[in-house]
């Protein structure tokens, strides 16, 4: 997620650590740590997005990777 906003950086770091652990050769050894990190990520995500300021919500709404109406229209209609 290279377009992460400043308040999303801790989430990005955890996601990167989880992806690195999932890529290891021995998944049985890392399974417990992955589960622990995923639980921590879920709690952090809930806490982060439930306490956004007005400006942070505006940044999310204007994010360049957010889908536009034309993206939704292409999915809903055959001849758009």
Q: What is the pLDDT of residue 38?
A: 95
pLDDT exceeds cutoff 90 at 56? yes
pTM: 0.72
Average pLDDT (27-31) is 81
Q: What is the pLDDT of residue 68?
A: 87
Q: What is the pLDDT of residue 67?
A: 87
Farthest CA pair distance, the chain: 50
pLDDT exceeds cutoff 80 at 29? no
- 39 SS3 class: helix
pLDDT exceeds cutoff 60 at 64? yes
Place of tokens 């950086």: 9
């Amino acid at each position: 997620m290279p377009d992460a906003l400043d308040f999303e950086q801790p989430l990005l770091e955890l996601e990167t650590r989880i992806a690195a652990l999932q890529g290891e050769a021995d998944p049985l050894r890392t399974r417990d740590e992955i589960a622990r990190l995923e639980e921590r990520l879920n709690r952090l995500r809930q806490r982060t997005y439930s306490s956004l300021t007005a400006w942070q919500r505006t940044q999310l709404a204007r994010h360049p990777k957010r889908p536009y109406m034309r993206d939704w229209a292409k999915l809903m209609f055959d001849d758009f």
